[in-house]
Amino acid sequence: MSISFNFLPALIMAFMRKTYKLKWNGYTLELGSRTCIMGILNVTPDSFSDGGKFFTTNAAVAHGEKLVKEGAGIIDIGGESTQPFSEPVPSEEQIQRVVPVIRELSKRITVPISIDTTDASVAEAALGEGASIINDVGAMRLDAKMADVAVKYGVPVILMHMKGTPKNMQITPFYDDLLTEIKEFFLNVVKSAEAKGIKRSNIIIDPGIGFGKTFEHNLQIIKYLDTFKEIDLPVLLGPSRKAFIKNILKGHFGDKLFLKHSMVDAGTQPVIAVSVLNGAHIVRVHDVAATSVAIKIIDAIMNCQ
């Protein structure tokens, strides 16, 4: 009996990502041939995961350097928690938190720094001190001036899907057709960004795991992430330490799990693996060291002939 391997070309194609090359202001990001890791640096007292741990400038800078050594290709710095039901932080306070860190860290690392904010004044202050990417969970819909700042500085923008705001996004989120609605959202916000002068080659999309989504919605996005290939833009995913991972593990390990980030970080890695295999170009994580190990293996598998 002979065995046919005619399915192999299709299988190999299924695990191939389109490559993108972003070039701006002295930086280059080659996405697709390998996975880029975005290291999270929260300069906040109330982040759901590590709030207060890196709230001082010295601690934040040291941690940013550590993330780069561990393999981060981007450092994402934010001064406002976007966890469910969180209150907005005034722009002046965000600037006081993030600018000293960005100013010092940008002198010590060579990878780009992204500013995680929905506020144009915060983004502009950060870009003026060394940041070079805007990561806007509001996809430039919460501050009409954000696109102007992005155009002025010629930087990439990460446009994330979020239903509502951090304060109300997790109050019974509902979709008639989850993937179609998110895809249509991206088509609209990308078109709007381009109309405002942002180059398409400077746009990255993020389906927004945990932002106005149920646990089941998150799983569907990860499973069917290749749905967004049609938009033809790099895809970022940020599942790190999210509640849906804790919820899956809680049934087996119980509430004691929540005392250990290490368990949730271990649960994050298979999510990262599936996300990359399904087309993610950038993964946003807390545990860069463990993710770097996983990514080396995943990329080797994806790139083999």
pLDDT in tens, 73-102: 999 999 998 776 667 899 999 999 999 999
11 pLDDT tier (thresholds 50, 70, 90): very low
Cα 14 to Cα 137: distance, rounded to the nearest angstrom: 29
DSSP 87: P
- Residue 102 confidence (pLDDT): 98
The tens digit of pLDDT for each residue in 65-79 reads 999 999 999 999 999
61-75, 165-179, 281-295: range with lowest mean pLDDT: 165-179
45 pLDDT tier (thresholds 50, 70, 90): confident
- Residue 283 predicted with pLDDT over 90: yes
The identity of residue 94, as a single letter, is Q
- Residue 15 confidence (pLDDT): 56
260 labelled catalytic: no
- Residue 132 confidence (pLDDT): 98
103 labelled catalytic: no
Catalytic residue among 242, 246, 260, 296: 242
Long-range contacts of the stretch 292-296 (C-beta < 8 A, 24+): 292/37, 292/70, 292/71, 294/269, 295/34, 295/35, 295/37, 295/71
- Residue 86 confidence (pLDDT): 66
Q: Could you tell me the two tokens for 62?
A: 């040291």
- Residue 259 predicted with pLDDT over 80: no
Domain positions in the chain are 19-303
Catalytic residue among 145, 167, 284, 296: 284
- Residue 245 confidence (pLDDT): 92
- Residue 17 confidence (pLDDT): 86
CATH class of 19-303: alpha beta
